Every structure is written in structure tokens, then in C-alpha cells.
Amino acid sequence: MGNKETEDNRAMPPTDYELYLMRHGLAVSRDVTTVMDDAKRPLTPEGKQKMREIASGLDRMGIEVEWIVSSPLVRAVETAEIVGEALCSKPSVDLCDALKPGAAPVALITFLAKRPNRRRVLVVGHEPDLSELAARLIGAGRNANMPFKKGGCCLIAFSIFPPKSPGRLVWWLPPRVMRKLG
């Protein structure tokens, strides 16, 4: 019988790339009486406060990212900025059209692969795209039921990126858990 720690370490593939997927926070609702462009809907005051608490939870977990990539929609940009300000690593934030609602997952993977030196990346996007992306990246298929709540986040680890095989889901946390950690 071998050493338990050694056996566990062999079972876990090396992690050279960490991809955090996060859904934007609570935004102003679509009101049929006003003609607000969906792309311009901001976070509500409550949404901003909850995102600050979530971001504080991520920081207390020791999450350090080198880069935040956000959908260009206002609610996602505001979410990315709040998270970026809270993390000790103070990552830069870039916008990516491949995170707009309905964009193809391969476009995001191609975008991220253009920066191979950035190995710990957080992306901020929308549903149902994020849950479909997460399922695809871990090899669970399109029909996997993996919905992100507003402010929810997961970590998928890869040995190489762009991935040649499915990544490993390290954790999946609902926003209320991250807020309690903060």
C-alpha cells in the first residue's frame, strides 16, 4: 500500500492554467415601459454591494488572477471592475466581444489563447452561455445542467491551454457562499 498523499498527487493532473468563469451581478431589470438598450443595463446598487462582498470572498480565498476578461455589456464590465479592485493581484481588465450573449465559445478560447503568458484568468459573462461553456470545457456536454446564479463563479483547471482534453472542475460556488466568505 503506497503513501496516500503521493497517490492523491498522482491522481491530480498538473495545473498550468486556471480559468475562472463568473456571471455578472444583479442588474437593472428590463422594463417594457422604457427603451433601455440591454447592453447598457448597469448593476443595481444592491448588485454592486453583493459583488463587492463576493469579490471580498474571492480575495479571502486567496484567488489571484493575472487578467480579467469581460463581456462589453455594462453590467459585466461593472462586475469585472469591482472584482479587479478587490483582488490583491490588481489584474488588468479587457473587454471581449466573444463574451457577448450568444457568442461562440471557440471565439473566447481563441481570444484567451492569444495571451499564453496569462495563466490565471477570470472571465465575466452571461447565461446561458457561461453554463454551456463550463460544461463544454469539462467534457460534460451541452445538456449538462450547470447554471450560474448572478455573481456565481467556478474554477476550471487545465494542464495546457487552449485545452486538448477536458479541464478539471476544481470548485463551483454560488454567490451566497462567496459573500459569507467575505
Q: What tens digit of pLDDT does each residue of 136-151 get?
A: 999 997 667 888 999 9
The answer as to whether 3 is a domain residue is: no
The answer as to whether 2 is a domain residue is: no
pLDDT at residue 117, as a whole number = 92
pLDDT at residue 34, as a whole number = 63
Q: What tens digit of pLDDT does each residue of 88-124 get?
A: 999 999 999 999 999 999 999 999 999 999 999 999 9
The answer as to whether 140 is a domain residue is: yes
Quick one: pLDDT band at residue 37, thresholds 50, 70, 90?
Answer: confident
The answer as to whether 32 is a domain residue is: yes
The answer to whether residue 18 scores a pLDDT higher than 50 is yes
List the domain range (segments joined by +) for residue 171.
12-181
The answer as to whether 116 is a domain residue is: yes
- pTM, to two decimals: 0.89
Report DSSP state, residue 40. G
Check the CA dihedral 180-59-113-165 and report its sign: negative
pLDDT at residue 146, as a whole number = 85
H/E element, 46: helix 45-60
Q: What tens digit of pLDDT does each residue of 56-88 get?
A: 999 999 999 999 999 999 999 999 999 999 999
Sheet-wide strand order for 120-125:
92-95, 67-70, 120-125, 17-23, 153-158, 168-173
The number of folded domains in the chain is 1
Residue 41's CATH number: 3.40.50.1240
